[in-house]
A and B are shown apart, each in its own frame.
Chain A
Amino acid sequence: MSAFTLASGLSVGLAFGYALQRGRFCTNTGFRDILLTRDTTLFRAWALAVLVQLAGVTVLAGFGLLPVSVPPLWVGANVLGGVAFGVGMVLAGGCSSGTCYRVGEGMAGSLLALITFGLGVVVADRGALAPLERALRAATPAGAPVTLPALLHAHTWWVTAAIALVLGSWLVRSGRSSYRSGGWPWQASGVALGVVGVAAWLGSAASGRDFGLSMTGPLRTWFAPLFGAPLALDWGSLLIAGLLAGSFLSAALHRELRWRVPKSGRLLQSMIGGGLMGVGAQVAGGCTIGHSLTGLSVLSLGSILTTASILLGAWAAAYLAFVRPMRRTLREQATPPATPAAGQASAAQGD
């Protein structure tokens, strides 16, 4: 490994982890809050990060300065993997980025989720679920368009400009946010993550890896040795190391570093969620970082499909785990207490 690869992977990871922790950036929270609290603050940060990265990558690639590789379209794998990932991140209480920055803050649940995430990735890649992954990926016919401009038969510049116009005007008109996290405002974290994303594309490509920020592949590199594969460190695996160090540094500097261990039931839920995220991410070919941040910046159809499926899975899980129980509780609180006679009658019916 060259000194540049080492320095670039670690420094981009450091900046990425710092920005994630300062911005409290978690797509699970961002996607879920739209449904739960009707708040779009983190969603806006995510949209701005995508927009900045999309503009940067389009310009650099358009002028021939940056080689890019586009995540492929695997319809079945993208949908099923995306939904599984969405459900998993709600169970785990964080997406891949949220889980990582919370590990840096000292959250034991996130650490366990990260470990099972890595294990899930390797099990789907090399273990019992590998045939499923291969079968789902093979189902999409070769030769199908893989990017939005190719599907629309339009030039990348025009598609990018149209997206920038629509998304940009929504962000400008979205107004002030009442969301207070104690970290950066959404505008700052969106721009910072977008800039880090562009820097990742450059640093990674200059290390012979034509892709940007990602989690699934790098985690697989770290966990594959458990299944007998050699540890082959590259730019991506160093990104993960830097990411954890960056979020730790940020949490320590801002006195937000605290070892927290939730109850055993919550820990178990995090582990199951992490494992589901890992399997889903491996099957879909990426997670909320590789697809929903990086893949969208090259307008990959596979990434668009996976992101939509993650959103669907997250909303379905959030509805079942939070919205429905909350509504039931509210209904019970609103219902006047039953009279003893009525209670006896219903008990008799139940018998």
Chain B
Amino acid sequence: MSKRASLVTVIALVVLLLAGSTMALWRLNRPYPEQAAVLTSDAHYGSAVIDARGPLAYRQGHAQGARHLYARRLLSYAGPVGGVLADAGTILARLHALGLAPGEKVLVYDAGDQRDAALVTLVLQAYGVEARALRGGLSALPGPLTRAVPELEPTAKPFTRDARLLVTAADSLEHLRESAVAPVDVRPPGDYLAGHVASAVDLPAGTLLPDGSLPRYATVEALLTGAHFTRDTHVFLYAGALADAARAWLALTAYGIHHVHVLDAPYGGLAAAGAPTSSAPVAATSAKPSSSLCWQ
């Protein structure tokens, strides 16, 4: 073995490592290609601002001119399964009362964890409003807070619900039967393992949008690659609470999945409607038991 051949091998390995590390750095820190479709860092985005937090938080102080639309007011707890999206009449009444119009650009914020803002943004987008959730929530807004409630002029504009974005349990059953969608359970692994829609993979909302901020692009990419999803896969999301499904929708849309469909009810609604369920895990990359953590 000549010294020259040894040197060539070492140089080749160093080049491999350098190239791999450079590519890794780029992959780790690249921005989400479609995040502008759901999220914004621009506190002056659009013509209206909506505060999606609870009534008490809103009364204690909100952004100048912010209209109040508490996320939970978009849900109904009247039926056997609580937390279902309210009926169209209720939603339209709220949108009209806020003076919103289809196609209007609206900034939505909450405390920063995106639980409320994601849900409001999802529902507004499903009804044709160009809503964007504010990154960082209330703390990202400039200027002092106010307690003054803005005077609003109600409208009666016609809104149409996008039935592909927010899907009813009945429509979901049909899609699942035809295998037209890839079901994704965004509940925590424990709930998933206790029972889930047959063939659903587990991608917990807490992993897709931890603490209200998008994780590294590479993290979501690895999860989706592990589940064999491409950007053209028709992904069907369901959760234990609609707010979690909305968070997952935010992350997957930002990532660039073109067709994300969200169940307009919690998992209980789908199971009650007769969806086939299973307790066998589907994707090997998800629902990791504690002993298979990567640090070992």
Contact = CB atoms under 8 A, between A and B. Distances in A.
Residue of A7, A15, A295 with most partner-chain B CB within 10 A: A15
Interface string A243-286: 00000011001110000000000000000000000000110011
Given A125-B292, A196-B17, A208-B219, 12 more contacts: A2-B222, A15-B16, A67-B215, A69-B293, A69-B294, A70-B295, A72-B295, A195-B17, A199-B21, A206-B218, A220-B296, A285-B293
A206 B27 contact: yes
Interface of A: 1-2, 4-5, 7-8, 11-12, 14-15, 18, 65-67, 69-72, 125, 130, 133-134, 195-196, 198-199, 202-211, 214, 216-217, 220, 230, 232, 234, 236, 249-250, 253-255, 281-282, 285-286, 290, 294-295
Interface residues of B, number: 34
A254 B1 contact: yes
Given A65-B28, A202-B25, A205-B216, A7 B296 contact: no
A67 B17 contact: no
Given A2-B225, A208-B219, A209-B294, A253 B29 contact: no
B27 A4 contact: yes
9 contacts: A5-B222, A8-B20, A8-B23, A11-B17, A12-B20, A134-B291, A208-B218, A254-B1, A290-B295
A7 B24 contact: no
A84 B285 CA distance: 30
B295 A15 contact: no
B1 A285 contact: no
A211 B17 contact: no
B176 interface: no
A116 B161 CA distance: 60
B218 A205 contact: yes
A214 B296 contact: yes
B25 A217 contact: no
Contacts of B294: 69, 204, 209-211, 214, 217, 236
Interface in B10-37: 10, 13-14, 16-17, 20-21, 23-25, 27-29
Interface string B269-296: 0000000000000001100000111111
B202 to A, nearest CB: 14
Contact of A217 (B17, B222, B225, B296): B296
Given A65-B28, A230-B284, A254-B1, A11 B295 contact: no
A18 B216 CA distance: 31
B221 A208 contact: yes
Nearest to A211: B294
Given A196-B17, A236-B294, A295-B295, A209 B24 contact: no
Contacts, number: 127
A303 to B, nearest CB: 9
Given A5-B222, A232-B285, A286 B296 contact: yes
B218 A207 contact: yes
Contacts of A11: 13, 16-17, 20
Given A5-B222, A125-B291, A253-B6, A18 B28 contact: no
A254 B6 CA distance: 8
Residue of A66, A71, A206, A232 with most partner-chain B CB within 10 A: A206
A211 B20 contact: no
B223 interface: yes
Contacts of A196: 17
Nearest to A289: B296
Interface string B48-68: 000000000000000000000
A14 B16 contact: yes
Residue of A12, A70, A255 with most partner-chain B CB within 10 A: A12
A277 B248 CA distance: 41
Given A14-B13, A208-B222, A8 B296 contact: no
B9 interface: yes
A289 B13 CA distance: 20
B16 A282 contact: no
B194 interface: no
Interface in B200-229: 215-216, 218-219, 221-223, 225-226
A222 to B, nearest CB: 13
B5 interface: yes
Contacts of A7: 20
B296 A282 contact: yes
A203 B24 contact: yes
Residue of B14, B221, B295 with most partner-chain A CB within 10 A: B295
Contacts of B17: 11-12, 15, 195-196, 199
A294 B294 CA distance: 12
A209 B296 contact: no
Contacts of B16: 11, 14-15
Contacts of B292: 125, 217, 220
A250 B1 CA distance: 10
B226 to A, nearest CB: 8
Contacts of A286: 295-296
B284 A253 contact: no
B222 A18 contact: no
Contacts of A234: 285
Contacts of A203: 20-21, 24
Contacts of A211: 294-295
B21 A285 contact: no
Contacts of A230: 284
A8 B24 contact: yes
